[in-house]
Amino acid sequence: MSFGRVIDVDCQCGAPLFRYYKSSHGRLIKVFLENIRKDFVGITNTPPQAPVCTACGKEIGVIQLVGGRLALKLNQGTVKSVRL
Ligand SMILES: [Zn+2]
């Protein structure tokens, strides 16, 4: 049986960033763009090298290729830790 749940990820400033389908246990380090269910700040638009929170302007993380898939490596200082 596979683990999977939808979580909300917020910025430290309180603004919602995205809703994500997380398929594994553990801390959220990187997110695959294809698993973002709701994108509040335009992460999946165009190729933003460093998407930012639209409310406070802080960098959310950097986009990189992980195993041939686009993933956002989260900036742990900007993203509010998510309870799992
Ligand atoms: Zn923010």
8 Å CB contact between 43 and 37: no
> Is 84 a member of any domain?
no
What single letter denotes the amino acid at residue 8?
D
Q: How many domains does the chain have?
A: 1
> Is 82 a member of any domain?
no
In 12-27, which positions are buried (b, 16+ CB within 10 angstroms) versus exposed (e)?
eeeeebbebebeeeee
pTM, to two decimals:
0.86
Distance 81 CA to ligand 1 centre (A): 13
Q: HSE, CB side, 13 Å, CA atoms: give it for residue 33.
A: 22
> Is 80 a member of any domain?
no
Local mean pLDDT, 10-residue blocks, the chain (84 residues): 84 95 86 94 80 95 93 93 63
> Is 25 a member of any domain?
yes
> Is 83 a member of any domain?
no
Q: Which domain holds residue 62?
A: 5-74
As residues whose CB is below 5 A from the ion ligand 1, the structure lists 11, 13, 15, 53, 55-56
